[in-house]
Structure formats: C-alpha cells, structure tokens
Structure 1
Amino acid sequence: MQDDIHAYGRLGIVLSMAYPSCMRSEESYVQALKKVLVDPFFEVVELGSLPFASLKASVPLLVFSAHCSFIYSAHSLLFSRKLNINSLVEEERREAVSVLKAGLDEAYALGAEEFQFLSRQYETGKEDAYLEALITSTEEVCRYAASKGSMPVVLEVFDHTIDKKSLLGPASLVRRYAKRICALHPNFGIMIDCSHIPMIGETIDEAVDPVKDYIRHVHVGNTLISDPAHPSYGDMHPRFGYPGSENDTEYLSAFLQKMKDIGYLVPGGRNMLSFEVKPQASEDSDLVVANAKRTLLAAWRMVR
C-alpha cells in the first residue's frame, strides 16, 4: 500500500513490554511514557495497573495532553496473584472476577478507553468445563463494565500449550466463546496477536477466519518457538527478525493483508493496531521500537 497506514487505523504500543525499565520507579515510568507520547507515530499506549500510586494523577494528564488515548490491561492483575478466571473451583473463579472488577474501577477512574484481560490455565480433556466457567466470569465482567459506562471489554487470545498455556487458545474454542458472549454483550470483543498465532500452531487464515466478526483489537509482534532451551523461547515478544524467530516483514505483511481483507483496517478506520515487542538480553528499547515501526512500514508497503 502506498497510503499511510495511519489512514487505516490507530497505532499503539504496550509500554511495559517495549520499556521494561519503566517498572523500576515513578521517574522511569514517566520517562518511558513520554517517549511514546512525543512520537506522532503512536495514538494509543497500552498500560497495566499503574505500579506507583503517585502516577494516578500524572499519567492521564500526560496521555491526554499529548492528544492520545490509553488502554488498560488487567493481565498483570491475574499473573501477579496467580488467579484463574476460568477456574473450576468456584471460590478461585470469584476471586479472579473480583480482582478484574477492581481493575475496571481503576480503568474507569483513569479514563482508559478499553479494558483487556485473558483466559488462564486449564486441564486437558476438561476444556468444555473450563470454557463454561470462562463464559460465566466474562458475563459478570461485561455486566459490571456496562453498569459503570461504555468501556469495551476485550479478551486477548494467547498460546494454548507453550508458555502462558491459556484456554483461549485455538480459534475453534475462541469462536464458540465469542459467539456466546457477543450475542448478549455488545461491549465485548476479541483481541488477536500475530505473535501468538505460530505458538498455537495455526496459519493466519486458520486463526483469523473463524473469529473475524468478533475482533475488536489487534496486536503485532514476534515469537521464538524453534528452541525450548533458548532464553527468548515462548511469549517473550522479541523484535522482528530476531535470530531463530518466526515473524519478520513478510509474515507481518501477510497478517496486515488479512486485517485489510476482513475489513479491520479500512480507509478512515479507527481500529487499533498495537506493537507488543520487548528488548531481549541487553538490547536497547528505543532500537527495538524503531525496528517495529520500520518493519511495519515495510510490511505495509507490500499490502495490496
């Protein structure tokens, strides 16, 4: 495409992935956030629960002063407490839902545009039972979000067997889940991530076509799954073209082509496309972000 990709959607980035140093101190967090906000390439920044209480006043002011918006990811709330929203133990499931509701409170208080979460562990052979538990939890979260305002609720599809080992997961399960939730809750949608597709063992078409009607957010990134002993193995989001990894310019171009073909990226569109990339070992965050931007532009030029 010769058209500017910014004319087809809003570009964003996951802050704590691109700049892991932001979690060290309030000053480091603000410095990293400003690097994103002063860059006109980005219109959206994706944040988790703020790591320092003092940021609750400053972060929205910084984001809105830059004429940007931000997303609230609740993933860390579940990871940090090892909570499972699709647990078959009712007390554990309710605790996870309660934590997500508290996250929604924070997201609304901060002025976030969207709320994200993910499914968690499961036992092989019991996928149907875990799916029902996830549906119950999701409906509670969607109802709670709707009771407070109009913020969309989005579930991110992760790997199923390699790293996070989330229930969702394979496109067949995602479709069953999304079809039921979206039929009752218009504030709900699915997020797909092209870095997770190789980990699930699906092609782009296999991962996207069954769920294309439910996609509300898209991540782009990379993964390394060729060597389980490698320190970057799994859901580590190395830069595009990282040695031994799966995704580079041609793969990203094919994924962008698919997003255009299904109508997610359209002229004048405002759907979000966010980088989830992370420096490996001693790599420099700024260079990894530059890699992502450069690769995206090169991939977009190959789109028809």
Structure 2
Amino acid sequence: MIVDAPLKRYMRPGIVHFKAYPVESGTGPIIETLVKLAEDAFFAVVEVGWMKDPRVRDEARHILEQSHLEVAYAMQPALFSQKLSLCALDPQAHRKAVNQAKNCIREACQLGARWVRLPSGKDPGPEKREAAKKILVETILELREFAKDFGDPLLTLKVFDRSVDKEALVGPAQDALDVAQAVRRHYPEFGLVVDLSHFPLLRESPEEVIPQLRDYLVHAHIGNCYIKNRCHAAYGDLQPRFGFPGSEIDVQEVRQFFRLLLDQGFLNPETRPVVSAEVRPLVLGERSELIVANAKRVFEEAWALA
C-alpha cells in the first residue's frame, strides 16, 4: 500500500462532467446530470464546460454551491467544437479564439469556478512552432489580465496529443515546458494539467515526463485511450471507460501513476491537488452511471494496491 491513509488525504478526486454525461455541445440534460454528480460524496471537484443558456448556468451555480463542490471550467467544448485555436497564426482566427475564451471565462465566473482549463490549439508544424508558442504565451497572459475582473480563477494549460487526434501544439513535454516557463515569468501561479491517457498518444512515458514537468504541474486527469486499431470506433482521444477491451489504461496503470505522483511529491496532504477522472460512455449499451462507478472503483482499487 502507498500510505496508510484514505485517498482523499492526498488528493481531491474530481470528475469531468461533460464527458461522464456527454453534454459537450453546451446543451442537453446539463442540470439533471450535474445533480447526479453533486449527490455523489466521492467527488470533491467537478469539471464543467460550455453551458449556452444563462438560465442553465444560473441553476448550475446554485446546485454547485449547495453541494460544496469545487468547480473547474474547461474551455475545450467551446473551442474544439468551433475549431478555434489560441495559438493560431492568422490574426483574425486568433482573435476569434481569444474572444470565445473570454466568453468562457465569463461563464466560469458565473459558475463559481476556481480554475479554468485552456487547450493550446493546433500545432502549425515544426517551421512555425516557435511562433505559435510565442502567440500562446502572449494569449495566456492576455487572458490572465482579463480574468482578474471575472473572479480571478487560476488558468491552467492542459496537455493534449500532437499527432493522433487533437494535433495540439502542447503537446510533447518539451513544448509544454517551454510555454510554462515563459508564462511563469509573468504569472507565477500558472500551471499545467497532464492526463494519463495522453501519454500513450504522445508516445511518452509518465516516468520521463512527470519529473520534467513537476514544478509546473498543478492538476492531473486520469483517463483512458485506445490506439491499437485505427478503424475502431474508440480510436484516438475519446476517453473510453477504464478497462475497455484493447485500451491502454486500467487499474495497474492508474496504480503506477499514483505511485509516481506520490514519489514526486505531487500528491501530498498539504495541498491535496485535484485529480479528476475523464471517461465517458462510448459504445452501444454503455451507461453514464456505470462509467462513473467504474472510475470510482478504479481510483480506490489503484490507491489500495499501489
């Protein structure tokens, strides 16, 4: 066993709402599904996304306040669905992405979010990569100034894959490190979010990357991916349930990740960082409630066995 202490002594377990109950479009049964997660005392944090209707956001805010859940807001649903990139080289495309990001920060404020997750946007290729990283750094700092008037949430940059699915600038560990170092010079609280499911997609190992990014790591996601067959419906960065046949992540991999994060001092009783499950029903017959139960079991089993 890792330590003779409950999981919650070392982390605040969370769940990504819009994946567990797919409402990434910003519409659908947002309130009904949010209530289900808010009623589950296992989770200390819920990660929400785009909610197009202000009345829905208002009702969601009251639910979150009543349940004593901490809130993170993810920009991915709004940005990905509109093919927007915060590192776009074209000025018009970049400004459109920044404007949407600012709208997301307004929504996050309305929902009482403590953290806001940003994706970098698309990788433009090796010849233009340094220019894109410079634009991304400037964009994060612009959004940081904007966010000061909207609850001043902590901005975090989530690391995605480069070549399989999201084709993101950030991206491989070195690019994540370059951006984090540049932003930290002006914004010391800024940090990165890594996802266990993205290491296979990036062809990197947690054992190599986590020590490299440790000083900039603020939160972690634990998801799953499938990369064995390009023709499979689950191929790519689609976050299937843990243990999905042929997939990359199950109890053993989560156990090893917990152990690594403990050894690196990331999981600790003082700061108890957010570690969120990011999985969803993906194929015919899968139910959200069972996927959520699966994630909780995997967290608890991995912690007990590590």
* TM-score calculated relative to the size of structure 2: 0.94
Q: Which residue of 1 aligns with 2:213?
A: 211
Q: 2:22 aligns with which of 20, 23, 28?
A: 20
Q: Which residue of 2 aligns with 1:112?
A: 113
* Separation in structure 1 between the aligned mates of residue 20 and residue 52 of structure 2, nearest angstrom: 16
* Separation in structure 2 between the aligned mates of residue 302 and residue 260 of structure 1, nearest angstrom: 14
Note closer, same or farther for the CA distance 1:102–1:40 as it changes in structure 2 (3 Å cut): same
Segment drifting more, 167-176 vs 206-215: 206-215
Q: Which residue of 1 aligns with 2:91?
A: 90
- Residue 197 (1) aligns with residue 199 (2): yes
Contact 2:26-2:51 at 8 Å conserved across structures: no
Q: Which residue of 1 aligns with 2:55?
A: 54
* Separation in structure 1 between the aligned mates of residue 42 and residue 59 of structure 2, nearest angstrom: 22
* Separation in structure 1 between the aligned mates of residue 27 and residue 84 of structure 2, nearest angstrom: 26
* Separation in structure 2 between the aligned mates of residue 187 and residue 265 of structure 1, nearest angstrom: 18
Segment drifting more, 161-170 vs 106-115: 106-115
Q: Which residue of 2 aligns with 1:162?
A: 164
Code of the residue aligned with 1:11 in structure 2: it is P
* TM-score calculated relative to the size of structure 1: 0.94
- Residue 103 (1) aligns with residue 104 (2): yes
Contact 1:150-1:187 at 8 Å conserved across structures: no
The number of residues matched between the two structures is: 302
Note closer, same or farther for the CA distance 1:121–1:5 as it changes in structure 2 (3 Å cut): same
Code of the residue aligned with 1:96 in structure 2: it is A
* Separation in structure 2 between the aligned mates of residue 104 and residue 49 of structure 1, nearest angstrom: 10
Q: Which residue of 1 aligns with 2:300?
A: 297
Please state how far the C-alpha of 1:268 moved relative to its aligned partner.
4.4
Contact 1:38-1:66 at 8 Å conserved across structures: yes
**Once the two structures are superposed, what CA deviation does each residue of 1:249-291 show, in whole Å capped at 9, x if it has no partner?**
1111111111112222112433101010011212111111111
Note closer, same or farther for the CA distance 1:190–1:288 as it changes in structure 2 (3 Å cut): same
Please state how far the C-alpha of 1:52 moved relative to its aligned partner.
2.9
Contact 1:118-1:156 at 8 Å conserved across structures: yes
Q: Secondary structure at the match of 1:13?
A: strand
Contact 1:72-1:114 at 8 Å conserved across structures: yes
Contact 2:86-2:139 at 8 Å conserved across structures: yes
Aligned-residue CA RMSD in angstroms? 1.7
Note closer, same or farther for the CA distance 1:168–1:24 as it changes in structure 2 (3 Å cut): closer
Percent identity of paired positions between Structure 1 and Structure 2: 34
Segment drifting more, 153-162 vs 279-288: 279-288
Please state how far the C-alpha of 1:31 moved relative to its aligned partner.
1.8
**Once the two structures are superposed, what CA deviation does each residue of 1:23-80 show, in whole Å capped at 9, x if it has no partner?**
6966x22221111111110011111121433212211111110111211111122112
Contact 1:142-1:187 at 8 Å conserved across structures: no
**Once the two structures are superposed, what CA deviation does each residue of 1:221-259 show, in whole Å capped at 9, x if it has no partner?**
110011111000011101111111011111111111111
Note closer, same or farther for the CA distance 1:188–1:146 as it changes in structure 2 (3 Å cut): farther
Q: 2:227 aligns with which of 215, 225, 228?
A: 225
Q: Which residue of 2 aligns with 1:8?
A: 10
Please state how far the C-alpha of 1:149 moved relative to its aligned partner.
4.2
Segment drifting more, 160-169 vs 82-91: 82-91
